[in-house]
Amino acid sequence: MARYFWLIPLLPGASAFVLLLFGRRLARRWVAWQASASVFLSFTLTVAALAKLTAAGGGAAPLSKTLLSWIVSGSFSASVAFAFDEIAAVMAVVVTGVGFLIHVYSTAYMADDRAHFRYFAFLNLFTFFMLVLVMASDIVLMFVGWEGVGLCSYLLIGFWFDRPAASKAGLKAFLVNRVGDAAFIIGILFLLANVGSSSFAAINAAPGSGLLAPGLVTLAAILLFVGATGKSAQIPLYIWLPDAMEGPTPVSALIHAATMVTAGVYMVCRLSGLYAASITASAVVAWVGAITAVFAATIALVQNDIKRVLAYSTISQIGYMFIGCGVGAYAAGIFHLVTHAFFKSLLFLAAGSLIHALGGEQDMRRMGGLKKPLPVTFPVFLVGALAISGIPFLSGFFSKDAILTSAFAGGHHVLYGLGLAGAVLTAFYMFRLVYMTFYGEEKASCEPGAHPHEPPRAMTIPLVILAVLSALSGLIGLPVLFGDRANLIGRFLGNAFGSAAHHLAPSTEAVLVVAATLSALLGIGLAFRFYRRFPDAPARLSRRFPAIYRLLAGKYYVDEAYDAALVRPIIRGSEWVHRHFDLKVVDGALNGSAAAAGLAGKGLNILQSGLLRDYALAFLMGAVFFLGFLLL
Amino acid sequence: MIPPAAFFVLAVVLFVLGIVAFFVKKDLLTQFMAVEIMLNAGNLALLALAKAPGRADAQALVLFVITVAAAEAVIGLAIIVLVFRQRKSIRTDDLKDLKG
C-alpha cells in the first residue's frame, strides 16, 4: 500500500474537485461523508507509508515518485515529484490525522450552514495543498502548496463573507502574507540562480559544496524566513492571525493552529542544511521566535475574546518552535509542532463546542460556571490547558522542555530565560481562560430559555480523541533522562537531521525539568489567585498600572502603528495618484488622442466630396506627378 | 508605309481625348466610354512602340488586354444598368453618397 503514497495529497484534491463542481447538487450528508472519507483514506495511506519507513530503519531512502515533468528550461528543471521522508511523514500524519478529526467535527458544527458544500470543498482543497507543501520534493512545488494553503486560508477566513469583519480579515491575512511571500519568492529565485537546482537535497548540500558563499546562504535563509514570519504569524507579520479568528472555529483549529501556520517551521526544518550553515540566520530565527513567544503571550494575558486568546497563544507557541529550529534542535521544533497541533486544535475545537453551547458567545466576560453543564467539554479543555502549560507527563511538557533544554545546552541562556518566562505567561493566560469560563457563577449569556448543552457526538468524539493524544503524545519524545533510546521521534527524525550535538549532564537536565515544572505551576497559581481566589484583583491591578494595562489591551498598538505608517499613507498616496495622475495624465492622454483623431478626421473630410470627377482628378494628378518624377 | 511614330501620336491624341471626355461629360455611360477609349489608346501605344524592334510579344499581350477589357466592359455596363434601375439617374453629380 505504501507504494501508492503519492495518492495521499491527490485524494482530498480529487474530492475537492468533485465538491467544487457538483457539490451544490449533492446531498448534504454525502458531501460531509465524502470530504471526511477522502481525508481518512489519505490518513491510512500515510500510516502505511510511515510504517514502511520505520520498518526500513535508519538511513532508508525516502519514498519518492515523479508524477510529471513540469518546468524544463535550459539547465533548470522542476517536476511535480513527491517525496516521503521522515520529516514529511511526521507532518503528513499530523495533517491527515488532525485534519480527519476536524472534518468529522465540522460535519456537526457546520451542519446547518447555508454554503455547507463550499465549506467542505475548501477544507478538502486546503488538505490537498497542505499535503503538496509537505510532500513536495523541491522548493518550487512546495511554493505551490505554500500559496495554495494561503489561498484556502483566505477563502475560509472570509467564509461568512456577508459579515464585513470576516471579509476584511480574509483580505488582511492575504495581503500580509503577500509581503512575506514577496521575500520568499526572492529567496527561492536566489537559490535557483545560485544552486541551479530546485530540489531540497541540492539546496541543503549547497553550502557544504561551496556552491553558495556564506554571505549568500545567510541572505537566502533570511529572505525565506521573512516568508515564514508571514505564514507562521511571527513578528513583524503576525497581525493577521488574531483577525483570522473571524473564520469558522474548526478552520481556526485546522489551519490557524495545527497545520498551515506551522508551515514556516516545516520549511525551516526542510532546509535545515541551509539554516544550519548560517549562524546569523539561525540566530535571527531563534530571536524572532523567542521575542514573539513572550510578546504574544503578554497580549494574550488581557484579551477577552476566547478565540483571540487562543490565537495569541498559537503565535507564542510557534515562536517556541522557531527557538528550537534556531538553536539547531530541529527535531525538538517538529516535536513541539506535533504536540501543539494536538493540544491547540483540541483547545480550539473545545472552545468551538463552548461557543456552540452558548449560541455564538465569544466574550469570556459573559461566560462562567460552565463546568457543570458541559461535562465533556470541560475535562478535555482542561487536559489541553494542562498540556500547553507544561504540566509534567502531558505532551506540551516534553516538547517545550526539549526546546528549552536544547537552547540551554547550546549556550543560549537568554533565549532559555525568555522561553521560561513565556512558559509562566502561557500557564497564566490559559488558566485565566479556564477560570473565567468554566468556574465562578453561571452567567445566563445564551438566549433566554436555552440551556448550555453538550454538542452532538460527531463533535465530542474528536474532542476526546484529541484529548488522549494531547495527554499521551509526549511519550514519543521522552528526554534523555529516561534513557538514550527513549526519544523515539528524535531518533526517527535524526535520520533526516543528523543527531543533536549537545548533551547535558543528567543533573543539569533534572534541574531544567524542575524549573520548567515550577514555572508552569507558578503561572497556574497566579491565575488561581487572580481569577479564582480574589476575582476583583485583576481590576485593581489594571487600575494600579493603567499604562501597562492599556498597552497590553491595545495589543501594543501594532495594528494602529502599521495603519498609520503603511496602510493610510498608501491609501492617501493612491488617492493622490488617482486624482492627479489617473484622472489628469492617463485619462487626459486617452481623451486627448481621441479628440486629436476626431479633429484629423474632420479635416480630412473635406477631401471626400463624393464626386467621381474629384477622385478622378486626384488620380490623374497623382499619375502625372508620379510619371513626372520618373521622367525627371 | 505609315511610320510607327504616327500610330503613337494617334494613341496620345486618343488618350488625351479620353481624359478630357471623362472630365467634361457628366453621365456615367459616356465617362465609361471615355475610359474605354483611354484603354484602347494604351493598347495602340503599346503596339506602336513594339513595332520598331519587330517583335510579336506586344501583339499577343494586346489580344489579352482586349479580351479582359471585354469582360470588364460587361461588368461595368451591368453596374451602370443596376445603378440606373436603383436611382433613375446615371449623372455622376447625383451619385455622391460617399461624401464624408
Of the candidates A130, A232, A132, A139, the one whose C-alpha atom is nearest the C-alpha of residue A189 is A139
What one-letter code names the amino acid at A152? C
Q: Which residues of B touch A617 (CB under 8 A)?
A: 23
Dist. CA A503–CA A619, nearest whole Å: 100
H-assigned helices in A327-456 = 330-357, 377-389, 395-409, 413-438
Dist. CA A236–CA A66, nearest whole Å: 37
What is the mean pLDDT of the segment spanning A301-318?
93
Q: What are phi and psi of A340, to 5 degrees?
A: -60, -40
What is the mean pLDDT of the segment spanning A383-389?
95
Q: Which residues of A touch B93 (CB under 8 A)?
A: 611
> A616 touching B, CB under 8 A?
yes
> B83 touching A, CB under 8 A?
no
Of the candidates A127, A153, A145, A121, the one whose C-alpha atom is nearest the C-alpha of residue A40 is A127
Subunit contact A608:B19, Cβ cutoff 8 A: no
Dist. CA B58–CA B63, nearest whole Å: 9
Dist. CA B71–CA A532, nearest whole Å: 112
| 3-state class (DSSP) for residue A68 | strand
Q: Which residues of A touch B28 (CB under 8 A)?
A: 612
Complex confidence, ipTM: 0.79
What is the mean pLDDT of the segment spanning A234-250?
92
- Residue A329 C-alpha cell reads as 534542535
Q: Which residues of B touch A613 (CB under 8 A)?
A: 23, 92
Dist. CA A552–CA A302, nearest whole Å: 7
Crossing angle of helices A139-157/A116-135, nearest 10°?
160
Subunit contact A609:B97, Cβ cutoff 8 A: no
> Could you say which of A605, A609, A620 has the minimum Cβ distance to residue B96?
A609
pLDDT at A12: 95
- Residue A157 C-alpha cell reads as 477566513
Dist. CA A339–CA A558, nearest whole Å: 30
Q: pLDDT averaged over chain B?
A: 88
> Could you say which of A606, A608, A611 has the minimum Cβ distance to residue B93?
A611
Residues A158-213: tens digit of each pLDDT: 999 999 999 999 999 999 999 999 999 999 999 998 888 889 989 998 888 888 88
> B22 touching A, CB under 8 A?
yes
The residue assigned the cell 433566554 is A448
The residue assigned the cell 505567561 is A425
DSSP label of A455:
P
Beta carbon pairs, A and B, within 8 Å: 29
Crossing angle of helices A395-409/A330-357, nearest 10°?
150
What is the mean pLDDT of the segment spanning A250-275?
93
> B84 touching A, CB under 8 A?
no
User: B1 CA to chain A: closest CA distance, Å?
Assistant: 31
- Best to test chain B binding among A609, A613, A620, A624 (most B CBs inside 10 Å): A613
Nearest C-alpha in B relative to A609: B99
The residue assigned the cell 488538505 is A127
pLDDT at B53: 67
Q: Which residues of B touch A605 (CB under 8 A)?
A: 100
> B29 touching A, CB under 8 A?
no
> B21 touching A, CB under 8 A?
no
Dist. CA A181–CA A283, nearest whole Å: 21
User: A566 CA to chain B: closest CA distance, Å?
Assistant: 56
Length in residues, chain A? 632
Q: Give residue A119's pLDDT band: very low, low, confident or very high (50, 70, 90).
A: very high
A2 pLDDT above the threshold of 70: yes
User: A589 CA to chain B: closest CA distance, Å?
Assistant: 27
Subunit contact A612:B95, Cβ cutoff 8 A: yes
Q: Give residue A280's pLDDT band: very low, low, confident or very high (50, 70, 90).
A: very high
pLDDT at A605: 85
What is the mean pLDDT of the segment spanning A298-326?
94
Residues A37-68: tens digit of each pLDDT: 999 999 999 999 999 888 876 666 778 888 88
DSSP notation for A288-355: HHHHHHHHHHHHHTT--BHHHHHHHHHHHHHHHHHHHHHTT-HHHHHHHHHHHHHHHHHHHHHHHHHH
- Residue A147 C-alpha cell reads as 500559496
Dist. CA A401–CA A510, nearest whole Å: 11
Q: Give A569's Cβ-side CA count (13 Å radius).
A: 6
Residue B100 makes CB contacts below 8 A (sequence gap 6+) with A604, A605, A606, A607, A608, A610
pLDDT at A293: 95
DSSP label of A360:
S
A470 pLDDT above the threshold of 80: yes
- Residue A266 C-alpha cell reads as 516545516
Subunit contact A616:B23, Cβ cutoff 8 A: yes
Angle at A622 between CA A618 and CA A627, to 5 degrees: 150
Q: B7-89 domain in CATH 3.90.1150.10?
A: no
Lowest-pLDDT range of A237-251, A517-531, A600-614, B78-92: A600-614
Q: Give residue A616's pLDDT band: very low, low, confident or very high (50, 70, 90).
A: confident
pLDDT greater at residue A541 or residue A247 = A247
Residues B15-57: tens digit of each pLDDT: 999 999 999 998 899 999 999 999 999 999 998 888 766 677 8
User: A588 CA to chain B: closest CA distance, Å?
Assistant: 28
Instruction: Say if residues A7 and A30 touch (Cβ distance below 8 Å).
Output: no
H-assigned helices in A7-137 = 7-22, 28-56, 86-109, 116-135
A295 pLDDT above the threshold of 90: yes
Length in residues, chain B? 100
Instruction: Say if residues A281 and A214 touch (Cβ distance below 8 Å).
Output: no
The residue assigned the cell 468533485 is A18
What is the mean pLDDT of the segment spanning A508-534?
90
Subunit contact A620:B92, Cβ cutoff 8 A: no
Q: pLDDT averaged over chain A?
A: 90
Q: What is the pTM of this model?
A: 0.80
User: B100 CA to chain A: closest CA distance, Å?
Assistant: 5
Tell which A residues from 381 to 400 touch B, by Cβ distance under 8 Å: none
pLDDT at A485: 73
Q: Which residues of A touch B15 (CB under 8 A)?
A: none
DSSP notation for B23-76: HH--BHHHHHHHHHHHHHHHHHHHHHHHHTTT-SHHHHHHHHHHHHHHHHHHHH
Dist. CA A442–CA A582, nearest whole Å: 59
DSSP notation for A159-226: SSTTSHHHHHHHHHHHHHHHHHHHHHHHHHHHHHHHHS--BHHHHHHHHHHTSS-HHHHHHHHHHHHH
CA separation (Å) from B65 to A66, A272, B49, B69?
72, 87, 16, 6
> A608 touching B, CB under 8 A?
yes
The helix (run of H) or strand (run of E) holding residue A78 is strand A76-84
Q: Which residues of A touch B95 (CB under 8 A)?
A: 610, 612
The helix (run of H) or strand (run of E) holding residue A69 is strand A63-73
pLDDT at A312: 95
The helix (run of H) or strand (run of E) holding residue A35 is helix A28-56
User: A594 CA to chain B: closest CA distance, Å?
Assistant: 19
What is the mean pLDDT of the segment spanning A224-237?
94
Beta-carbon neighbour count of residue A601 at 10 Å? 10
Q: Which residues of B touch A608 (CB under 8 A)?
A: 98-100
CA separation (Å) from B55 to A169, A351, A467, A508?
92, 108, 111, 120
A142 pLDDT above the threshold of 80: yes
DSSP label of A2:
G
Dist. CA A241–CA A257, nearest whole Å: 10
DSSP label of A513:
H
Subunit contact B19:A620, Cβ cutoff 8 A: yes
